[in-house]
Chain A
Amino acid sequence: MSRLLSSALLVCATLGLAACETRNIVSSPVVRFDRQVNYGDAKAVELVTNEFGSTDLQMIAEKMVGSLLETGIFQGRPTVTISTVKNKTSEYIDTTNVMNSIQTTLVKSGKVRFVRSINEMQQGVDELQRQNQSGMYKQSSTAKVGKMTAAKYTLEGELTSIVKQSSTTKDVFYKFTLKMIDVEEGTIEWQDEKEIRKSSKR
C-alpha cells in the first residue's frame, strides 16, 4: 500500500510540474531569423583568443582608477588631461578605448576635473571661433577666448607585451603602465601598472 502511495505521489508531482511548464511558456518580444543573434554580457570574461580583448581593457581601467582614487591624489579636484598612451605591442590595439574608460569612471567619481586633451583641442577651438567670430551669437552669451582652465596633471601610459610560444602553449604577457605627471614641475606624482597573463593551448 505504501509503495502504491509513493508511486502515485511521484506521478502527481511530475504531472503538476509539467502542467506548470505548459502554462508559463510565452513568446519573447524579439525579431528572429534563421541565424540567431543574442546579446551577451558586456562584463563577462572574454576567452575567445589570447589577443587583447574587452576583459583586458576593463581590468586595466578598473585597476588604474582604483589605484588613483585610493591614493587620494585628487584632493581639491585638480585638473587633468590625457596625454599619449603608446601601444608597444605587435597587435592593433586602440589605446584610446582604455583611456576613455578610465576617464569616464574618474569623471563620474567627481574627484577630478578633466580638460580637453591635445586631440580634442581643435573641436574646442572651432566652437569658440564659431561663437565669437560668426556674428551669430549675443556677445553676453558667448564663451570668451582665453578663459580655458589648464591641466595641472597629465596622464601618460604605455602598453607592452611579451609573447612566448612552444609546440603546445602560447603565452602572452601584457603590461600597462600609467603615470600622472605634474605639468609645471615635470614630477611623476603617481604611477601604477597592471599585468595580465593569457595562456592558450596551441
Chain B
Amino acid sequence: MNALKKLLLALTSTLALAAFAQHDPGTPPAVAAKVALRGDANGVRIPEMRVVRRNDILIAQADLYNTVNTDRTVFYRYRWLDSIGSQVGDGESWKQMTLMGQAQQTVKSVAPSSVVTDFRLEMNVELR
C-alpha cells in the first residue's frame, strides 16, 4: 500500500511540475511575477527589472542573463495593462533575440499611452 501511495504521489508531482513553466532559480519572485514565461527558462535568468514613468509614459526594462555557455534564442514582447488589468492596445509584436552564452542583454519597451500602469514580459527561450 505504501509503495502504491508513493507511486501515486510521484506521478501527481511530476504532472503538476510539468504543467507549469520553470523560471530560473536566480530570477527573483517579484520579477517572476511580471514575467509570463512560456516553457522553461533554459538557463536564462532575469535578475532585475526597472520601471519608470517619464513624461507620463511607462518605460520598462528587463535584464536577461544567460547563465549557461551555449547561446539561446529568446522570443519576447511586452504586454501593457491599465489599472484594472485590461490590455492596452493591440499588443506588441514578438521580437527575436540571440543571447550569447554568459551574456546579458537589456530589453526595453515604452508603453503606447499614458493609461498604462502595469505590464507583463512574455517570453520563451529556445535552445540554439
CB within 8 Å of B: which residues of A? 2, 5-6, 9, 41, 43-45, 47, 54-55, 58-59, 62, 65-67, 69-72, 75, 105, 108-111
Contacts and interface: CB of A to CB of B under 8 A. Distances in A.
A5 B54 contact: no
A58 B3 CA distance: 56
A43 B112 contact: no
Given A66-B110, A108-B112, A108-B113, A43 B7 contact: no
A55 B75 CA distance: 12
Contacts of B1: 2
Contacts of A59: 93, 95
B92 A70 contact: no
A58 B54 contact: no
Classify the secondary structure of A's interface with B.
Answer: helix
Nearest to B1: A2
Contacts, number: 70
Interface of B: 1, 3-4, 7-8, 54-57, 59, 75, 77, 89, 91-96, 109-114
B6 to A, nearest CB: 10
A44 B55 contact: no
A67 B110 contact: yes
Nearest to B52: A70
A45 B55 contact: no
Contacts of B110: 65-67, 69-70
Contacts of B94: 41, 43-45, 55
A47 B92 CA distance: 17
A31 B38 CA distance: 31
A80 B119 CA distance: 29
4 closest A-B pairs by CB: A72-B55, A66-B110, A58-B93, A43-B93
